[in-house]
Each structure stands twice: as C-alpha cells, then as structure tokens.
Structure 1
C-alpha cells in the first residue's frame, strides 16, 4: 500500500456544527492518496465526541490538544506534524467543492520539484489570470491579492519545503500570517508558486462573535515586517500589507469605539489606536491616511459621545458593508 500524497488538516476550536458540515463534504472524496486530520484546539465539546457518528468507519484522525494553544499555533501544528509531501490546511467553516480533492491531487501529481505551493481563486479575490511566480522577489512584486494568499483554505503547500522554516513561523505567529511567511521563506530565489484561477473551497463569512478580531489583526500584521528579509522584499511586503490586508480606518475606529463603550475602558482603546497608527504609519512618509489616522485618534477621548457620530458616518460611507464591520471580536476565543 502506497503512502498518502496529500494531508487535509483542519484546525478547529468550538465550531463543532460547521466543522461537521465541512467534514461531511470531504468524506466522499477521500481515498488512499489522502489523509484527513482534525486538530481540536481543546474545544469545550470534544470534537471526537461530536463527530463520532459521522466519521465512524472512515479513515479520519482526530488529535486533541490538551490546552488551547491559539489559532495560529494550531495552524502551525498542522504543518509541523504533516507527514505527506503536500498539505491542504482547510478552515473548519469553509466548504470544499465537490471535486476539490480530485482537482488538488491532479495539480500536485503534475507538480515540478520546485513548485512550493498553489493558491486557488476564492470569494476573496476573483482571479481571472493564472500566474506562475518564481522566487520571493517575484512573489511579492506580482502577487495579485495578499488577502487571497492569507486565506488558508485556498492554498495547497509542499510541506517539507515550509517545515524547514518553522522556527521563524512560530516566532512570528502573532503576525496572523505565519503560513504566508513560511511560504515566502520556502520560495527563496528559485522556488515557484502558482496562482490559479481554479476554485477548491468556498469562503464563508463568520457569524458575529466567532470571527477573527480585526483590531488584533491590525496590530499584528505589521510585525511580519520584522522578519530578516532583504530590504527589497521588506519594502514589497510592506506595500502588500498596507494595501491589501488592513481594514479601513473608519471600520477599525468603529470597532474600537464599540469595545471602549462595552468595556468602559477608553484608555485601552486609545492605546490600541496609537499602537496601530505607529505600527502602520510610524516610519512612512506623510500621507492623507497617516493624517486621518492621527485625527481619528481624538475620537477616543470621549468614546460614548463619538460612537453615535461614527456609526452614522459608517452607515453612510459603507452602505451595505456596514454590517460587516459590526463588533466581531474573538480575541479571547481563538
């Protein structure tokens, strides 16, 4: 019996119902070339119990962490413990296409030895052109969407190439993009990554209360720029982080004001805003966004008074998107 070629790893915490839907969509697609591993990050309801009936008789391994080690660390554990050549880290609430496994296997079987990863089209970026990028410089210069590369479920990665860089990936886990930096480091000067117009998994916006914290993300993303990178790559990465990742300033101010009012802690909100402003704009040239970030900081002098005004402006400016900037802070739950 030949060893599997692909591991599908699902890091999860306290999303047992949506996880069951994702696993149910995968089970008919599994075969001898595929290993399915679920990493339960110490969910209050153990996943092994919740999924017992669904996975009975299936070749599915459920590994439960004795402690919640955090979402980023659990993602890296999926990479660290992968024993196959290829790894697909699938979000627990992202639905795989009915032919996703067959499509991925077809791509990795045909992959040349220098192909480090494939990033597929998703709802976050409607890619219309296939690209093949070589080396870290080319990847950062011509990457069409950092958000799409950040989307875990859209990428299939050559595990051994990225595992060599786990030390720095763990060191920069707080950046919320350790898998992206591991990919960047694995590319080196000659490794290749394919940006594909094909689709393998559907991104679903998380319910309020279960999404990642945009406040935490805005504070964390710039830390990836501390990586020991060539200066050209650092400049290219800084442009991608600024242009493609951070939430808009108005939406971020709205979230922080909501937190300040809910917690009654205006000082903490002022500190978070100041840190975000310094990390994003502290070393850059004077710009309209830098000035706006400084001006918005004055809102946190009196959050209860400022919040109704910002809510009205957000509804006027964001329109239908305003609900997507509602309070969804999961900092304590991930």
Structure 2
C-alpha cells in the first residue's frame, strides 16, 4: 500500500488543486496524508468540502511551524504503509500517476528501495535498476541528474523495513532529509529503479527554499554515511558537495536579494560559510578567490549600488536585474 504525504505551508490553493487531481485516482491501494505546518489558514478548512466522508484523506496540523525539512521528516514519521510518496504541494499530478506507481511497485524486485521517475528536472534516458556505486558512478551524473534526485515529488520510497530514522534526523539541516533516507536504504543494500515515465509536472509557485541555504547546508549531508567503505564515502561526498554548486556571481546576487528581506547578519553568516566551503571544493583556488572577492564587496555594501549599476549598464541589463529581484 502507498501513502501520499503532502507537506505544506501557506499554499491553500496548491493543496486544494493536488487533492482535486488525486481524488479520482484513489483506491484501496492508496491513502493521502497532509502535514499542515501551522499554515495561517488551516488546510483542513480549505479542503473540507472535498474530503468530507472520505476516510482515505487525513490532515495533521503541527502546533507550530517546525520548518520545511522537519515537516518532510514528519511525512516519514506518520506513514504506516510499505511505500511512501512525498508529494510537493506545487507539483501537478499526472492523470495516471497512481496506476503507474502501482504497476511499477508490483514489478519491482524485493531489494528495490526507491522508484525514481523522470521529472521536469531531468529525463531518465531508459529504465534501469542500480546499486549505490552504480548509481553514484553513473555516466549521466551531473547537475540535472542530481536535481532530479533532490526533487521530492519524483521519488517513491520503500519504508516497509525502516527501523530507525536517527541518521536522517541527524542530517535534517541538510534541507534534503528525503534524499538522506534514500541513501540510507541504498547503503543498506537496496537498489534504486530509474523509470522513464513522469508522475508529476511543474507548476508555477513561490519557491519555499533558498539556493544560498541549500548551498550552505548541503555539505552537512554526507555525515550520515558512517560505516561505509572509503570508495562509497568518496562517491557520496562528491554527490552532495560537488554536483549542486552555484557560481560566485549567482551567490552574490542571491545574497543581495535575500538581504532586502532578511537579517543581513544571517546572510553574512551563510555567505561566509559558502566562501569557506569553496576553499575545500574540487573546483580549486580560482572559485575560492571569486567567492572571497564578491563576499568582500558584499561586506562593503557595494550591493546597495547594484540597482544603479544595472541601470547604467543599459535597459536590457536593468530589466534582467528587476526580473531577478521580483521573481520567486
């Protein structure tokens, strides 16, 4: 049986749309659980007219907002079925998603711990089932490939044999607890099945996470990989620390944007950590120097003059700057 768990916060219209998409696909095989992270308007009030009398849809509301990562972890905590689909509240569900998942679960070998579907991040070129070393050494390994692993809605995770979540909870600040869980299962001998089909499509929505925070926190993730051989640990570390990286210029602009709405001291803390991390990255001294130089400019409050600089650079650059500052 499959639990579809939707962690959400302050996206009432998105959650309602997901329920509208899923209700026609409900069967004895599946149930839906919504984890409301203390939204201003309770989710249950938004969808009550849709789920009244349907016992396969439940809503759990947190007393306080516990943050994105902890709310994802709660999905794993509450699920009591063999398989779990953590569905992003902003990802459109395809009309045949549940039938597709049911068929793929039935066809999966016993040691398959995750079904990884294609997504708007990356297309799987063909179906294949890989162990952890085969997966981490895959010829397609790159930004898009890794982004699809991180996309929460494209994974169906086998949680039947999970006995403890301590490693995942230890790395909850990595912002990707669902990926840490998949890696735990792979390290314990599971295999990941890559499938060409899609079960979700992208929709327009506010981004609820920060690229700067991801860049900063992701380096924490590999600590879960204890008691593995050196080669596996090297591959795990490379996956988390080197494949999701952002250019110094991108980080500088993100810091500038975040400083407009959040504590500058906090942004400086994130930024300085990214600079330090870049010193140890495989991309070498030049990237570190670039990060350090732009961080120095940021500290000098040069970012205050960016709107003027982009205006002087011409209308095309000014429009690009304005678009960057206003887009989610």
Q: Normalized against structure 2, the TM-score is what? A: 0.87
Give how far 1:264 is off: 7.7
Give how far 1:181 is off: 1.3
Q: Report the Cα distance in structure 2 between the residues aligned to 1:175 and 1:24, rounded to whole angstroms.
A: 32
Residues 226 and 189 of structure 1, relative CA distance in 2, 3 Å threshold: closer
Residue of structure 2 in register with 1:42 after alignment: 38
Which of 5, 11, 36 matches 1:9?
5
| In the alignment, structure 1 residue 72 sits paired with structure 2 residue 69 | yes
Stretches of structure 2 that go unaligned for 5 or more consecutive residues are none
What are the residue-to-residue correspondences of 1:192-203 with 2, within 5 Å? 192-203=191-202
RMSD in angstroms over aligned alpha carbons?
2.8
Residues 164 and 147 of structure 1, relative CA distance in 2, 3 Å threshold: farther
Q: Report the Cα distance in structure 2 between the residues aligned to 1:46 and 1:269, rounded to whole angstroms.
A: 31
Residue of structure 2 in register with 1:63 after alignment: 60
Give how far 1:289 is off: 2.1
- Secondary structure (helix, strand or coil) at the match of 1:129 reads coil
Give how far 1:244 is off: 3.4
Query: Deviation digits for residues 228-274 of structure 1, max 9, x if unmatched?
Result: 44332332233333443233332221021233355684x54433211
Instruction: Name the count of aligned residue pairs.
Output: 318
Q: Normalized against structure 1, the TM-score is what? A: 0.85
Q: Report the Cα distance in structure 2 between the residues aligned to 1:242 and 1:323, rounded to whole angstroms.
A: 29
Q: Report the Cα distance in structure 2 between the residues aligned to 1:152 and 1:164, rounded to whole angstroms.
A: 22
Residue of structure 2 in register with 1:53 after alignment: 49
Q: Is the CA contact 2:154–2:199 (under 8 Å) kept in the aligned structure 1?
A: yes
Give how far 1:122 is off: 0.6
Residue of structure 2 in register with 1:240 after alignment: 239
Residues 115 and 310 of structure 1, relative CA distance in 2, 3 Å threshold: farther
Q: Is the CA contact 1:222–1:280 (under 8 Å) kept in the aligned structure 2?
A: no
Shifted more, 20-29 versus 304-313: the winner is 304-313
Q: Report the Cα distance in structure 1 between the residues aligned to 2:170 and 2:181, rounded to whole angstroms.
A: 11
Residue of structure 2 in register with 1:332 after alignment: none
Residue of structure 1 in register with 2:156 after alignment: 156
Residues 325 and 289 of structure 1, relative CA distance in 2, 3 Å threshold: farther
Give how far 1:285 is off: 6.6
- Secondary structure (helix, strand or coil) at the match of 1:7 reads strand
Give how far 1:322 is off: 8.5
Q: Report the Cα distance in structure 2 between the residues aligned to 1:310 and 1:130, rounded to whole angstroms.
A: 49
Q: Is the CA contact 1:165–1:185 (under 8 Å) kept in the aligned structure 2?
A: no
Stretches of structure 1 that go unaligned for 5 or more consecutive residues are 329-334
Residue of structure 1 in register with 2:126 after alignment: 129
Give how far 1:292 is off: 1.6
Query: Deviation digits for residues 81-119 of structure 1, max 9, x if unmatched?
Result: 211111111011111100000000010112211010111
| In the alignment, structure 1 residue 221 sits paired with structure 2 residue 211 | no
Residues 308 and 242 of structure 1, relative CA distance in 2, 3 Å threshold: farther
Residues 42 and 186 of structure 1, relative CA distance in 2, 3 Å threshold: same
